[in-house]
Amino acid sequence: MLVLLVAAVALGGYLYVKGRTGSVYNTGVPFKKEASVKPPPKKPTKKDPFVWAFYGYSKDHHRYFPAPASMRPPFRKVWENNESALLEFPPVMSGERIFQLADDGTIKAIDKNDGHTLWERDLGALSASTPAIDGGTVIATVLSRNGGEGGSVVALRAKTGEIMWSKNLPSRSESSPLIDHGKVFFGSEDGTVYALRESNGSTVWTYHASGAVKASPTLYKGILYFGDYSGVVQAVGERSGKRIWSVGSEGAPLGSGTFYSTAAVAYGRVYLGNTDGRIYAYEARTGRLAWAVQTGAYVYASPAVAPVPGLGPTVFEGSYDGTFYALNARSGAIEWTHPAGGKISGSATVVGNVVYFADLGTHSTTGLNIRTGQSVFSIAEGAFDPGISDGHKLYLDGYDTLFALEPRDLAAKRQARTRTRTQSRTRTQTRTKAKKSAG
């Protein structure tokens, strides 16, 4: 009798785990194929410089930068800027400056042309996020203050690094801030999501989730989307801070997995990864589950979503199982996979027709053709999020060094133009000297 009871419990446990951790597909959830796809940025000018303002590039966190076709491997290294700490999250950029926050709480402004440090500021003892920039203001969150138990959020002048205001938080924060219409949005480990005035740091509203909010809030059409460490995804009004909907993952055997992943909102869906090993897609309007695809291990990474020639809307996501996935954004079907060889903890970024991801296990960064999954780039640098681009260079985070990489084709064309101009000047100078000698 006891043997039968044990067998029944074991079978029940197996079916319970299998039912809660497998893939789920709900075909009736709406999918908006006409979702806007951002055009390549205009050629920057002094009045309208290029800006990569937020973690994930855009406020909806597509992590997709539609770079020109010339922005592709192979690359050559232009410069490097060394840090004394881990670079876990990528920088942001405005005009000629890159702003990088290292894990030791130090933020730098770096000249993107030569890699020189323009200013440096100590914000705290520990940090793990990407700053945000809006005009002349840089906003950064801090996990641990110097001499304090909680975290903080700090506003600095982009030009000088001068601190404009600083707000201590009762809890730590590693949520990359988002700025919209004069408000700063970010989460914290005690589950509080803040909306602060960008001008002075005063509180507009707070929202209290049931678990730590480590992701950056994602904004789409006036609604903020984010998951928490209780395994709940929620949609909150940007202006009011009021909940619109919330749903649980219910993916782990003994409860929901945790959402560390920052959501990407595209095609009427909310995409994000979970530590139960699944990649989730919810309907943005209602929170209905469209699909959940099971990988072999934790999914900490944030997804990238991009239109792919020949495949259509595609979700790119890495897993701790060492596999990088390309999924059909509508159905969740796996289009292709790439074996990375280690653990993928950081998020991917699509630049043009190449998706880049770093491998924590091998401390390397790989670039794949977004249509085929074929490897087109590899470098023995990197661990978490790979970096950003302005359409001319790839600014790549190594383990503790920021690199500027330029396509060799662009470098060759620039060198050819330089030679042509030099030869033209030489011929002009020779003719001028000849005329003077004849005169």
State the CATH number of the domain containing residue 296. Answer: 2.130.10.10
**Predicted confidence band of residue 4 (pLDDT cuts 50, 70, 90):** very low
Antiparallel, parallel or unpaired: β 349-351 and 64-65: parallel
Q: Does 152 fall in a domain?
A: yes
For the chain, what is the domain count?
1
pLDDT of residue 147: 80
Q: Does 307 fall in a domain?
A: yes
Give 8-59 pLDDT, tens digit per residue: 434 433 333 344 458 899 988 999 876 455 666 666 666 778 999 999 999 9
Average pLDDT, the chain: 88
Residue 7: what are its φ and ψ, rounded to 5°? -65, -40
Separation between Cα atoms, residue 150 and residue 401, nearest integer Å: 28
Q: Does 178 fall in a domain?
A: yes
Query: For the chain, what percent of residues have pLDDT higher than 70?
Result: 84
Q: Strand order of the sheet with strand 243-248?
A: 218-220, 223-227, 232-237, 243-248
Q: Tokens standing for 192?
A: 């509080």
Does position 393 have pLDDT exceeding 50, yes or no? yes
pLDDT of residue 248: 86
Q: 268: which residues sit within 8 A by CB, 6+ positions away?
A: 30, 31, 32, 35, 283, 284, 285
> Among the listed ranges 233-237, 348-352, 393-397, 419-423, which one has the minimum average pLDDT value?
419-423
Q: Does 40 fall in a domain?
A: no
Residue with tokens 């383990």: 399
pLDDT of residue 433: 65
**Predicted confidence band of residue 1 (pLDDT cuts 50, 70, 90):** very low
- Residue range of the domain that includes 105: 56-438
Does position 352 have pLDDT exceeding 50, yes or no? yes
Antiparallel, parallel or unpaired: β 304-308 and 312-318: antiparallel
Chain-centre distance for alpha carbon 408: 26
Q: Does 16 fall in a domain?
A: no
Separation between Cα atoms, residue 385 and residue 397, nearest integer Å: 7
pLDDT of residue 11: 41
Does position 69 have pLDDT exceeding 70, yes or no? yes
pLDDT of residue 409: 77
Give 223-277 pLDDT, tens digit per residue: 999 999 999 999 999 999 999 999 987 644 445 689 999 999 999 999 999 999 9
Please report the DSSP string for 127-145 in residue order: --S--EEETTEEEEEESB-
pLDDT of residue 41: 64
Prediction pTM value: 0.88
Q: Does 129 fall in a domain?
A: yes
Q: Does 21 fall in a domain?
A: no
Q: Does 36 fall in a domain?
A: no
